[in-house]
Structure 1
Amino acid sequence: MRTPGAIAALPDVASSPTRGAGSADTLPARRVGAFVVMCFGMFMAILDIQIVSASLSEIQAGLSASADEIPWVQTSYLVAEVIAIPLSGYLSRALGTRALFTVSAAGFTVASIMCGLSSSINGMIVWRAIQGFVGGGMVPTVFAAAYIIFPGPRQKMVAPVVGLIATLAPTIGPTVGGYVTEALSWHWLFFVNIVPGIAVAMLSWTLIDIDEPDYSLLQKFDWWGLISMAGFLGALEFVLEEGPRKDWLDDGEILVMAVVAAVSAVAFFARSLMAANPIVDLRAFSNRNFALGSLFSFVMGIGLYGLTYLYPLYLAQIRGYNALMIGETMFVSGVAMFLAAPVVGQLTQRFDPRYILIAGFLLFAAGTWQMSYITADWDFYELLWPQIFRGVGLMAAMVPVTNTALGTLPRERLKNASGLFNLMRNLGGALGLAYVTTVLNERTDLHITRLHEAVNPTSVAANETLQKLTELFGGGADASLQALKKMTQMAHQQASVMGYADVFWALTVMFVALAALGLTMRKPAAPAAGAAGGH
């Protein structure tokens, strides 16, 4: 008998997702090996989202790119990936997991080589888009395979592994990128994928045998569904990525893309609901657990990618850290996740997973609440506990969310649902980055205005500070100008720090609200005895 507190996502798993994957008592070593190989591939694909984030200035210099062009090194990857992720479910059913994963790993490796060899920003953008598209095919495939390969109780052990990879890879991306750039050059951010990429492609073709292709699906391929989905998700990702830098709908290009996203969205949803064989089957959202799990995954994306962006930005902007120093400081969250994964795995087997989920979001909130008191002097030790809370909170939320969303679905719906689940996390990350950037800019501008109003000729404190700075610079007219410039810089830095504090406070409120929403989840029912054995 399983414990009454078993996860909602672990009902009669043997009767659907695991059929054909071996019984609960026997699990072929080949399939375990295949899963390990697939996890390596997924790790590479997710890592490459953030591996360039701490080294964009070096890439910009190497490619002679402008400040407006360099963000596309990340944006092109994300736009292509967000289209590929939901498409992967259909392609996995049509081509089979082995063919899809092998082609994705091989394509990812070739694209990585070409990114490293790029000599222009246009070439880099094209190859990053290809890298993101083929890499996006690997990520949801692993989530689906985990529930197909591992039957019954073994799902409790594999969920923390998948969750760890999905959250650890983007978290340590800046760390890995910082070390690689400092030790070698930015080209090796991409060349490091060559050896593992070749190995993953070869081993995937050799080991993966969990399903059979259904080539008839290729004859029924819904091209209009693909075009509308690409227009919707691609344009939406573009708006969310570029909007904060271009004043949103005040910019003509953003406005056009927003219209494209809206029109394409109507066409995509209509096509998905009416087509006989839609590219993406949205009926998975009719499952209450999957719908709630996807919502939580969306918010986790905000916390995962939003905070992975905020911490390095503060360290570079306020503290003046280089890529290596940022990587070393950010490494704390990765260590916390790694150590928390097995503990969370055990806790989800013994306690109601709703409480683990709520605890995870509350830990998230604790970390961001601490960060709301941030000052310009905060360093490694001040950031230590907020990062630990973030790392442990991510794992505590990710494991029950993944099980809740995917564990109750029948096998034939797993591949499609896995794409939707991962898409929600990525869209949450895109929205989180847009929200964080917009709030940070607006609040910083507000605080600059208020500080300028406070620092005026009638302010005793301002005059005293200006006088001290003038004396520090040696006195005289030039010293007065230097002192005034220094005080202006101090005011702008303080306004920026206050803006960071406001963003962290807003995130705290959001995570507390999500923790409260966890109370609305239904208490999981204990599966019938012997369910793991199949029937």
Structure 2
Amino acid sequence: MADLPRSAAGDRSPWLIASIVSIATFMEVLDTTIANVALRHMAGGVGASQDESTWILTTYLVTNAIVLPVSGYLATALGRKRFYMGCVALFTLASLGCALSSNLPMLLVFRALQGIGGGGLAPVEQSILADTFPPERRAGAFALYGLTVVTAPAMGPALGGWITDNYSWHWIFLINLPFGALSIFLVSVFVKEPQAVRDDRKRFLVEGGGIDWVGFLLAALALGSLQVVLDRAVIDDGFWSPTVSWLTFACVFGFVALIPWERRQARPAVDVRLFGHRSFLAASLIMFLVAFTLFSTTQLLPQLTQELMGYDATTAGLTLAVGGIGTIFVMPIAGRITGLVQPRWVILAALLWSGGALLYATRIELGMSFWDVSTLRILQVVALPFLFVPITTAAYIGLPPDKTNDASALINLMRNLGASVGISVMNAAVVHGAQFHQNRLVESARDTNPLWAEQLRQTEQALRQAGVGAWEASQSALSQLAGQVQAQAQVLSYIDAFWLLGVAVLVLWPLVFLMRDLPKGAKPSGH
């Protein structure tokens, strides 16, 4: 790789570097999904109420969202390798602090520090990969890296369920310690800070690269407020809540002020001008959509199986893990195909498959077996490698080589925003959908409806034959049928959610035609 002056591999194999930088992201993404499963146990351990417990997740997501868009800026200002190792160290030490927390305020402080450290990992890692591999070989590198991003969310719920069912919630954080220590050691020994990247930092400092405090604060205001609104809107009754209303105003103000300010800065904290590149814009929007569907369904399926099918946390997590295993085998194929076929065509085929799989998931019913649910998940995620790899590859086509840090930060921001928005929107859709369907079903649950009357009569008769008294049988039969109505309303709301996701994916596929072609065999510009 002598013709790649920005390569972090030096005289070592670039594949070794790709493997090393994947460790920390796997740790961070895995920890996030594990924490979701163990939330109830953590709340009990620190004496938090159910409402207060959501801040354990929200605090992490807020600080993570704030750091993500400015991580490229900070990597350039502080030095890419130095910034990356600092993020890994902070995340690891904060994990230890979380495990040792004895009360809610202490846990929230360390979760905030975890979010700061975790927010800088993925952007720097993808920047390193983009600089270490030429454009025509990036697909394979991102396929290797993508194993961490795609499989960790699938493994997290199963592992988290197993840990919380069999051990203490503290181990959810303690398992990060060996991963973090290993990552810091390997990065310090094997990852090189190339001279071209050092020159970027020197030029940044010589040109007066002071901190863009205004841009940083506006980004923090906009993204921090947005994350809190997304997490609290359903809990706090939406815009009827003064807190949600004021934070929504702060979010809108932050974004409205941020964009024109950053467009005028020579060294913006958030380089919004990158969205002027059509391939990057299209890749960012599709990445948002992919994360929207992946993370929302990652929450909906375990929620469905635990609430309505009686699964415990471990079994519910295993339905996702089965799909994750499938992606492990498919990911190398996706990297190979993306290296042979233009990314836009791979993305188009994968979007059509994903949309069809989500519409197929509308076949869900309460009597489904574990393998029926797992099959639905496999169909949903088997196309993810054919989305993640070409999207990440296409995002860098045509960008100046010194913009890989900023581009990586923004593409990961779009992924995280897609996940947060997807989870919030689809949870709200399920809650309101269940209320809508229950109202409709209750309208037909009247004695004047012969089907309802017959079902009520048969249930009451069965109870009386079992020895239940007449009055008790009448009340119990009515209660049982009311429970069935409520369960059916919830199932219908999940069906609606999958239908909406499928339609969204199928409607937005024309975005692929904004993407530029990947140069075949061309020397990477600027490398």
Q: What TM-score, normalized to structure 2?
A: 0.93
Q: Residue 62 of structure 2 aligns with which residue?
A: 79
Q: Residue 184 of structure 1 aligns with which residue?
A: 167
Q: What secondary structure sits across from 1:51 in the alignment? A: helix
8 Å CA contact retained: 2:433, 2:496: yes
1: CA distance, partners of 2:401 / 2:60: 30
The correspondence of residues 322-337 of structure 1 with structure 2, limited to 5 A, is 322-337=312-327
Q: Residue 347 of structure 2 aligns with which residue?
A: 357
Letter in 1 for 2:421: L
Q: Residue 3 of structure 1 aligns with which residue?
A: none
After TM superposition, give the deviation of residue 530 of structure 1 in Å.
5.7
Letter in 1 for 2:485: A
Task: Please give the per-residue CA displacement for 1:292-324, whole angstroms capped at 9, x wherever unaligned.
Answer: 100111101101211111111101111121111
The equivalent position to 1:531 in structure 2, one of 512, 523, 526, is: 523
Letter in 1 for 2:20: V
2: CA distance, partners of 1:133 / 1:313: 28
Tell me whether 160-169 or 70-79 shows the greater mean CA deviation: 160-169
* Structure 1 position 300 matched with structure 2 position 294: no
Letter in 2 for 1:521: L
The correspondence of residues 334-483 of structure 1 with structure 2, limited to 5 A, is 334-473=324-463, 474-483=468-477
Letter in 1 for 2:505: F
After TM superposition, give the deviation of residue 339 of structure 1 in Å.
0.9
* Structure 1 position 509 matched with structure 2 position 499: no
The correspondence of residues 2-81 of structure 1 with structure 2, limited to 5 A, is 18-21=4-7, 28-29=11-12, 32-81=15-64
8 Å CA contact retained: 1:114, 1:127: yes
Task: Please give the per-residue CA displacement for 1:77-125, whole angstroms capped at 9, x wherever unaligned.
Answer: 1111111111110111011121111111111111101111122222222
The correspondence of residues 197-212 of structure 1 with structure 2, limited to 5 A, is 197-210=180-193, 211-212=197-198
Q: Residue 146 of structure 2 aligns with which residue?
A: 163
2: CA distance, partners of 1:88 / 1:523: 26
Q: Residue 495 of structure 1 aligns with which residue?
A: 489
2: CA distance, partners of 1:290 / 1:525: 13
Q: Residue 123 of structure 1 aligns with which residue?
A: 106
Letter in 1 for 2:370: F
Change (3 A) 1:484 1:169: same
Change (3 A) 1:322 1:199: same
After TM superposition, give the deviation of residue 471 of structure 1 in Å.
3.4
Tell me whether 326-335 or 198-207 shows the greater mean CA deviation: 198-207
* Structure 1 position 282 matched with structure 2 position 278: no
Letter in 1 for 2:424: A
8 Å CA contact retained: 2:18, 2:145: no
Letter in 2 for 1:510: A
1: CA distance, partners of 2:229 / 2:525: 49
The equivalent position to 1:89 in structure 2, one of 67, 72, 77, is: 72
In the alignment, structure 2 segments of 5+ residues that lack a partner are none
8 Å CA contact retained: 1:229, 1:264: yes
2: CA distance, partners of 1:487 / 1:318: 15
Q: Residue 10 of structure 1 aligns with which residue?
A: none
8 Å CA contact retained: 1:31, 1:209: no
8 Å CA contact retained: 1:79, 1:233: yes
8 Å CA contact retained: 1:225, 1:278: yes
2: CA distance, partners of 1:452 / 1:242: 29
Larger relative contact order, structure 1 or 2 (CA cutoff 8 Å, min sep 6): 1
Q: Residue 133 of structure 2 aligns with which residue?
A: 150
1: CA distance, partners of 2:379 / 2:323: 8
8 Å CA contact retained: 1:102, 1:202: no
The equivalent position to 1:270 in structure 2, one of 260, 267, 284, is: 260
Task: Please give the per-residue CA displacement for 1:38-68, whole angstroms capped at 9, x wherever unaligned.
Answer: 2101111122221122222222222232121
Tell me whether 463-472 or 181-190 shows the greater mean CA deviation: 463-472
1: CA distance, partners of 2:380 / 2:323: 7
Task: Please give the per-residue CA displacement for 1:259-296, whole angstroms capped at 9, x wherever unaligned.
Answer: 11111222222321122321111111111110110011
Letter in 1 for 2:473: A
In the alignment, structure 1 segments of 5+ residues that lack a partner are 1-12
1: CA distance, partners of 2:96 / 2:43: 18
After TM superposition, give the deviation of residue 179 of structure 1 in Å.
2.1
Q: What TM-score, normalized to structure 1?
A: 0.91
After TM superposition, give the deviation of residue 418 of structure 1 in Å.
0.7
Letter in 1 for 2:517: P
